[in-house]
Amino acid sequence: MRSRIGVGLIGFGTVGTGVVKILMGHAALIRRRVGVPIELVRVADLDITRDRGVALPDGVLTTDAKRVIDDPAVDIVIELIGGSDAAKRVILDAMAKGKAVVTANKALLAVHGEEIFEAAVRHRVDLGFEASVGGGIPVIRALVEGLAADTILSVYGIINGTSNYILSRMTKEGHGFTEVLEEAKRAGYAEANPTFDVAGIDSAHKLAIMVSLAYGTPVNFKDIYTEGITKLTPLDITYAKEFGFAIKLLAIAKFLDGEIEARVHPTMIPSTSPIAQVDGVYNAIQLIGDAVGDVVLYGQGAGSLPTGSAVVSDVVAIARNLLVGAAGRVPPASFRQDQRRPLRVRPIDEIRSLYYMRFMVLDKPGVLSQISGVLGRYGISISSVLQQGRKEGQTVPVVIMTHTATERDVQAALREIDQMAFISQPTTLIRVEGQDE
């Protein structure tokens, strides 16, 4: 029986600091849960002089990640350096040395997950990555273990706090995207370069991981349609409210006829739905299983301590396995590696959805009939229309909500409509999740 479990941390940044604070501050609680102490043996970072607000014992800090991986006293290596090449090398080297690994690196797993999953199985070591999706929300464990009996019919996720904060402020205050983004930077909710967040890339990375686990299939990150929030306007948010909807940046996955939809884009959802109520930097993920029905997970999707909590939860789970010699008990990719199957990810052109369209048109007789005529020729049925006020000879918005239609047909119709002389700017299109009437 082991008398302790040794942990080595590589990357002593914001999340790494949270991990250290939890491991040290909750040491007695963790010992009671595991049965033996979890000891922080090594911490590696390029900067070992900056004050993180936590004191480490002498000799623990190093600038050399190799000292962490090679230390025989280290049983579990935590990778928190981010990025791709160096992080991948750290993880694979640690596994080759027989070390279990915990990481929060969603971008790495989204692109190189299959290689890392296979390495964990080959070296018979555990891999934990709860912190890679949803910060402190235990969605990975829910998919891998809690819902193991279910076919996951769909996933709806608000999994980027920066974008949700921006959309929440735009909705409440009526301000434009650029103004709210600058406010988010000042408040510390957006990075100096927020492209990954507002362009939907961060959400797509996380969705790729969830799809891989939910459906037991390798996912090519490039197959996930990704659209950000940069073009959303207060006008569209106002119209959404009039129709009884809220706009959220959603990561969506659906299992349909043996194929998968996987997409990230601004989405209108009924304002009464649980996901629509999630504001600010909080995240929420709604999973629908064929047996369990709806499961909604809500919480802080980022931050030092929430994300650190998820990292340490993996350390605790792996430590329990090490104590009973049960490494590999839970497959890292949810399904046994030889049972994972390639499933087709439907191109965005093939999806079927409800649609919101806002046309900016020159106000004159016959405009609406011409628009509806083109939509009708492409098999797109109109559910409702909003055209507020008359401004003869001026540009006004015409808003149309459709019944369920195919994306390919919608895009073809809009290309034709946008060429018409009375259209003043490209049409705004937002997909809608809800029941067709």
**For residue 281, with 0-12 CB atoms within 10 Å meaning exposed, 13-18 middle and 19 or more buried, which class applies?**
buried
Burial per residue of 3-26, b for 16 or more beta-carbon CB atoms within 10 angstroms, e otherwise: eebbbbbbbbeebbbbbbbbbeeb
Q: Which of 88, 99, 106, 206 is catalytic?
A: 206
H-run or E-run covering 145 = none
Tell me the sheet residues that pair with 40.
7
Is 206 labeled as catalytic in the residue annotation? yes
Tell me the sheet residues that pair with 233.
none
H-run or E-run covering 49 = none
**DSSP character for 275?**
G
One-letter amino acid identity for 304? S
Q: Which two tokens stand for residue 338?
A: 């030889």
Nearest alpha carbon to residue 203 among 132, 125, 298 = 132
**DSSP character for 380?**
P
Nearest alpha carbon to residue 124 among 96, 157, 91 = 96
Q: Are strands 293-300 and 259-270 parallel, antiparallel or unpaired?
A: unpaired
Nearest alpha carbon to residue 354 among 414, 401, 400, 399 = 401
**Which residues are marked as active site?**
206
